Amino acid sequence: MDLIEALSADAKLVCVVGAGGKKTTLYALADRLERAVVTATVRIPIFDDHVADVRVTRDPVGTLRDATEWPLGLVPERERSDRYLGYDRETVTAIRATPGHGTVLAKADGARTRLLKAPNEREPQIPATADTVIPVASARVVGAPLADDNVHRPERVADLTGRSLGEPITPEDVGTVLAHRLGGHKRVPPTATVVPLINMVDDDDLAATGREIAAAVHARADVPRVVLARMADPSVVDVVDRRSD
């Protein structure tokens, strides 16, 4: 199964949340989709090198109608030298509805380069029209302590998993976060397809860890599949569908 099919990314609006590879996933998908648009509902680091063109505009719909280079980045404002701001959810919905482009790929929360996260009360910023939501976590977080160095908002992950701060993170913990209605499934529209992504599966041991995480996800949430991948390549390592458990 190729990357686009595995992640159900051939859709009108795909939102990526979580930690451990959101931006890498967005850019990999943009490279493989026809006439893709990359945007965000939250802050996003400067990504000009990952797309054909970036337009900084308060009129993304009008700008999109005149676009000729793809993939195209759309953002409302450069906040500082290293990042852009994102649009509100209604604006991303309007971008989705504009004809003449392919998939809209949106970063819908932040994680400060950590490997796992649970959202706060304001997150994620997923538009109601999202067709696919991809919650991401890194296989490398398993075995690491539940602490700020590895996890964004570790206290929230502790609340979801029952794990104490400082304890080693297990595959079941990661699966719980990805599957939880206050974790990877938070604010997902009822009509959206959810495809969890286990990233940084770089060797056989991490692949085995990823399959344990996938089993924990399937035990807790109704998702069609869990994808194990190395998004830095990018390549699909394995696809664990719900019939496999």
User: What confidence tier does 230 reach under pLDDT thresholds 50, 70, 90?
Assistant: very high
Q: Which helix (H) or strand (E) holds 17?
A: strand 13-18
pLDDT at 31: 97
Question: Number of structural domains, the chain?
Answer: 1
> CA 210 → CA 23, 124, 140, 216, 244, distances in Å?
20, 24, 9, 10, 14
Q: Stretch 113-132: mean pLDDT, rounded?
A: 97
Q: Is the pLDDT of residue 238 over 60?
A: yes
* CATH code for the domain in which residue 76 is found: 3.40.50
> CA 89 → CA 85, 93, 109, 200, 202, distances in Å?
13, 6, 12, 29, 34
Q: Stretch 101-106: mean pLDDT, rounded?
A: 98
Q: Stretch 81-98: mean pLDDT, rounded?
A: 97
Q: Is the pLDDT of residue 244 over 70?
A: no
Token pair, residue 129, equals: 């029209």
pLDDT at 161: 98
Q: Stretch 98-116: mean pLDDT, rounded?
A: 97
> What residues make up the domain containing 207?
3-244
Q: Stretch 7-22: mean pLDDT, rounded?
A: 98
Q: Is the pLDDT of residue 171 over 90?
A: yes
User: What confidence tier does 242 reach under pLDDT thresholds 50, 70, 90?
Assistant: confident
- Across the chain, what does the average pLDDT equal? 97
Q: Stretch 215-225: mean pLDDT, rounded?
A: 98
Token pair, residue 243, equals: 């019939």
Q: Is the pLDDT of residue 194 over 60?
A: yes
User: What confidence tier does 80 reach under pLDDT thresholds 50, 70, 90?
Assistant: confident
> What pTM value is reported for the model?
0.97
pLDDT at 245: 44
pLDDT at 64: 96
